[in-house]
């Protein structure tokens, strides 16, 4: 079975710069109404962690779900 | 790298940080903390020194021994710390102006001495904090507040400057390669001698708005499209390389002796 990942966003640290949204190869993330990042399609996440590494605000954590 | 390890290195009470949304300095800080974590460094044995500027706010957010010093003089302080306690891991974070203009003299002499300090230069081609004045690394024809019709002065190539001045490990990456930044910083910290890691970053607020790169993502793609690995760049002509950033390990001299070791020998000779 394919691995599943959870994407956690720390909303108080996110500044909505959009880097993660542009980088995600699976288009998992989008901006919400308060211009903060939101994982709208977490089931598509392949766990590449590019968003986690590129986030300048330390706001994203990608974890393998149990 | 799980983020929990990295979080231990952050002074979380001061987050979110002061940098603009999408600022590359955050990406570099993240890469540096991942490097320190994977090397298993002890925060109480790690010193991070900085001067003045946006990039130099970084030590304020890192929970280790930190030093926020005079403009351009961070390397002088770092040299002092390393000479007193050679067992410490000393990292010096600088901006391009801090490194090559205000602290240019300290920089070339630190390179010459080959002291065991890892210098990370965050090059965003502009003085961001003070209002976008042209710095020694602003490219020719780029617009800045003090160069409204385009910069005229030829820019510094910080890596070539460091190699010329005698640094024994010189590398370059851009913020479009966060993993590579981490690897190079790791190698720089492990290197016994003066290491310079230039990381090309962006200031979309002060530089980007005037130079058609106003969104963080524009800058990310800009660097991604213009990065050339050293191995590939070796086979390219000077014309092909203009406007490109050669990334990777650019220079390594592992034979040179580190300064504090040489200094210990002097003390031994003097005490005889």
* B69 token code pair: 């010093």
Looking at the structure of chain B, the number of domains it has is 1
Residue B81, domain extent:
3-271
Query: With a CB-CB cutoff of 8 Å, which residues 149-178 of chain B face chain A?
Result: 175, 178
Q: How far apart are CA B17 and CA B31, in angstroms?
A: 16
The sign of the dihedral angle between the CA atoms of B55, B119, B181, A9 is negative
Whether residue A58 and residue B2 make contact (CB cut-off 8 A), yes or no, is no
Whether residue B27 and residue A63 make contact (CB cut-off 8 A), yes or no, is no
Pairing of strands B65-68, B89-95: unpaired
Q: What is the pLDDT of residue B1?
A: 47
Which residue in chain B is spatially nearest to A51 when comparing CA positions? B178
Q: Within 10 A of B265 (CB to CB), how many other CB atoms are there?
A: 10
Shortest Cα–Cα distance, B3 to chain A (Å): 6
For A19, the closest of B2, B22, B29 (CB atoms) is: B22
Structure confidence by residue, pLDDT tens digits, B78-102: 999 999 999 999 999 999 999 999 9
B26 Cβ under 8 Å from any chain A Cβ = yes
Q: Kindly tell me if the per-residue pLDDT of A1 is higher than 90.
A: no
First to last CA, chain B: 50
User: Among B98, B92, B149, which Cα is nearest to B126's?
Assistant: B98
For B27, the closest of A12, A56, A63 (CB atoms) is: A56
Under an 8 Å CB criterion, which residues of A touch B?
Answer: 12-13, 15-19, 22-23, 50, 52-61, 63
C-alpha dist (Å) from residue B126 to A15, A24, B1:
23, 29, 32
Residues of B in contact with A19 (CB under 8 A): 22, 216-217, 220
Interface test with A, best of B26, B33, B175 (most A CBs within 10 A): B26
Report ipTM for this prediction: 0.91
CB pairs under 8 A between A and B: 65
Tell me the three-class secondary structure of B66-89, residue by residue: EEECCCCCHHHHHHHHHHHCCCCE
Q: How far apart are CA A8 and CA A2, in angstroms?
A: 20
Whether residue A56 and residue B23 make contact (CB cut-off 8 A), yes or no, is yes
Shortest Cα–Cα distance, A28 to chain B (Å): 17
One digit per residue, the tens of pLDDT, for chain B of length 272 reads: 457 788 889 998 998 899 999 899 999 999 999 999 999 999 999 999 999 989 999 999 999 999 999 999 999 999 999 999 999 999 999 999 999 999 999 999 999 999 999 999 999 999 988 988 999 999 999 999 999 999 999 999 999 999 999 999 999 999 999 999 999 999 999 999 999 999 999 999 999 999 888 889 999 999 999 999 988 888 888 888 888 899 999 999 888 899 999 999 999 999 88
Which residue in chain B is spatially nearest to A36 when comparing CA positions? B21
Quote the DSSP letter at residue B147.
Answer: B
DSSP letters spanning chain A: ----EEEEE-TTT-----HHHHH-TT--EEE-TTS-EEES-GGG-----HHHHH-TTS-EEEEE--
Residues of B in contact with A56 (CB under 8 A): 19, 22-27, 29-30
Structure confidence by residue, pLDDT tens digits, A4-62: 888 888 888 999 898 999 999 989 998 888 889 988 988 888 888 889 899 999 999 88
B13 Cβ under 8 Å from any chain A Cβ = no
Structure confidence by residue, pLDDT tens digits, B200-221: 999 999 999 998 888 899 999 9
Q: A5-64: which CATH number, 1.10.1040.10, 3.30.70.100, 3.30.70.20, 3.50.50.60? A: 3.30.70.20
For A53, the closest of B2, B178, B216 (CB atoms) is: B178
* B226 token code pair: 């213009």
Q: How far apart are CA B72 and CA A5, in angstroms?
A: 44
Q: What is the pLDDT of residue B2?
A: 56
Shortest Cα–Cα distance, A14 to chain B (Å): 8
The pTM for the full model equals 0.93
The CATH number of the domain holding residue B207 is: 3.40.50.970
C-alpha dist (Å) from residue A4 to A25, A46, A52:
16, 7, 16
């Amino acid at each position: 079975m394919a691995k599943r990942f959870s994407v956690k966003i720390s909303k108080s640290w996110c500044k909505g710069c959009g880097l993660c949204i542009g980088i995600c190869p699976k288009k998992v993330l989008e901006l919400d109404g308060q211009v903060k990042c939101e994982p709208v399609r977490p089931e598509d996440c392949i766990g590449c962690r590019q968003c986690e590494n590129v986030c300048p605000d330390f706001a994203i954590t990608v974890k393998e779900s149990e | 790298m799980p983020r929990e390890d990295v979080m231990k290195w952050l002074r979380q009470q001061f987050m979110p940080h002061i940098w603009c949304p999408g600022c590359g300095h955050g990406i570099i800080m993240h890469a540096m903390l991942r490097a320190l974590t994977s090397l298993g460094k002890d925060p109480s044995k790690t010193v991070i020194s900085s001067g003045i500027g946006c990039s130099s706010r970084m030590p304020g957010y890192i929970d280790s021994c930190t030093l926020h010093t005079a403009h351009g003089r961070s390397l002088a302080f770092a040299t002092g710390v390393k000479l007193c306690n050679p067992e410490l891991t000393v990292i010096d974070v600088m901006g391009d102006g801090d490194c090559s203009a205000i602290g240019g003299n300290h920089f070339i002499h630190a390179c010459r001495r080959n002291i065991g300090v890892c210098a990370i230069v965050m090059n965003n081609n502009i003085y961001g904090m003070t209002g976008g004045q042209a710095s020694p690394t602003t490219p020719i024809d780029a617009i800045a507040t003090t160069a409204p019709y385009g910069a005229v002065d030829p820019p510094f190539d910080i890596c070539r400057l460091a190699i010329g001045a005698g640094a024994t490990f010189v590398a370059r990456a851009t913020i479009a390669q966060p993993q590579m930044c981490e690897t190079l910083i790791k190698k720089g910290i492990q290197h016994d001698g003066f290491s310079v890691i230039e990381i090309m970053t962006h200031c979309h607020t002060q530089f980007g708005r005037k130079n058609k790169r106003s969104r963080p993502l524009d800058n990310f793609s800009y660097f991604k499209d213009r990065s050339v690995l050293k191995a590939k760049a070796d086979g390219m002509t000077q014309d092909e390389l203009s406007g490109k950033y050669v990334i990777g390990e650019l220079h390594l001299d592992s034979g040179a002796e580190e300064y504090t070791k040489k200094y210990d020998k002097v003390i031994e000779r003097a005490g005889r």
